[in-house]
């Protein structure tokens, strides 16, 4: 039960964070989550290719226009497809991706609890 509470707190903290992150941090955060499409396994942030550099400028521009982080991801998703996002959103394609590990964790816990541990 204690663990559960820990997790809840943690997951909530995701939503309350980043409120006053600076513009620059925000841009870095966004570009870290974008795949440089012409590179081999590098993020836009890490890459110095022309593609990556032009994307960095686009991100800056979108931030100036006042778009939120999610809106920017959405923009890139529409333009380049989901392949560009390193952080896949939860939808019908990715239910298994996100939930299967958690399910495995729960089942594993249940097996251990049922077959080995006896409370006295």
Partner 1 sequence: MIYSLVGYYSLIIGLIIGLFLFYFSYKNFNNSNILNTKILSFSFLQLFFVVISFLCLIFSFIVSDFSNETVFNNSHTTKPLFYKISGTWGNHEGSLLLWLLVLTLFIFLFLVRTKNQPVKYKILTLVFQQIIIVGFFLFLILTSNPFNYIFPIPTEGLGLNPILQDPALAIHPPILYLGYVGSSIIFSSVLAATSLKIISTNWAIHIKKWILISWIFLTLGILIGSIWAYYELGWGGFWFWDPVENVSLMPWLALTTLLHCILVLEKKSILTSWVIILSIATFTLSMCGTFLVRSGILNSVHTFANDPERGLFILVFLFILIFLSILIFFFFHKDNDKKSFSFFWLSKETSILINNWFMMYFLSVVLIGTVYPIFLDVITSQKISVGPPFYHKLIIPFLIPFLLVMAIGPNLKWIKSQLEDKIYLISFLIISILLAFLVLKNFNQNILINTILISSALYLFFITLRDFFVNKYKNISQNIAHFGFSLLILSILFNNLFASEIITNLKVGEIFENSKTKIVFESVDQKKEQNYNAIIANFSISNPNGEEDRLSPELRIYNQPVIATSEADIKTTLMSDKFIVINLVQNQDFFNVRYQVKPFMLWIWLSVILISFGGIISFIKKRS
Residues at the contact surface with partner 1, assessed by CB under 8 A: 3, 6-7, 9-11, 13-14, 16-18, 20-21, 25, 28, 32-33, 35, 40-43, 45-48, 50, 53, 81-88, 93-94, 96-98, 100-102, 104-105, 108-109, 112, 116-120
Cβ atoms within 10 A of the Cβ of 25, count?
11
The DSSP secondary-structure symbol of 82 reads: G
Least distance to partner 1, CB of residue 106, Å: 10
Contact criterion met (CB below 8 Å) for 43 and 34: yes
Contact criterion met (CB below 8 Å) for 87 and 33: yes
Choose between 65 and 114: whose C-beta lies nearer to partner 1: 114
Choose between 53 and 71: whose C-beta lies nearer to partner 1: 53
The distance in angstroms from the start CA to the end CA of the chain is: 18
Q: Tell me how far apart the alpha carbons of residues 1 and 42 are, in angstroms, rounded to a whole number.
A: 39
Residues 6+ apart with CB under 8 A from 89: 73
Choose between 79 and 116: whose C-beta lies nearer to partner 1: 116
Least distance to partner 1, CB of residue 81, Å: 7
Choose between 71 and 90: whose C-beta lies nearer to partner 1: 90
């Amino acid at each position: 039960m204690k663990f559960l509470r820990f997790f809840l707190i943690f997951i909530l903290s995701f939503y309350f964070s980043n409120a006053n992150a600076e513009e620059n941090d925000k841009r870095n955060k966004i570009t870290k989550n974008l795949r440089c499409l012409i590179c081999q396994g590098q993020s836009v942030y890490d890459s110095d290719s022309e593609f990556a550099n032009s994307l960095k400028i686009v991100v800056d521009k979108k931030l100036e226009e006042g778009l939120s982080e999610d809106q920017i991801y959405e923009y890139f998703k529409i333009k380049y497809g989901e392949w560009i996002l390193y952080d896949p959103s939860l939808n019908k394609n990715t239910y298994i991706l996100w939930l299967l590990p958690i399910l495995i964790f729960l089942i594993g816990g249940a097996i251990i609890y049922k077959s080995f541990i006896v409370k006295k």
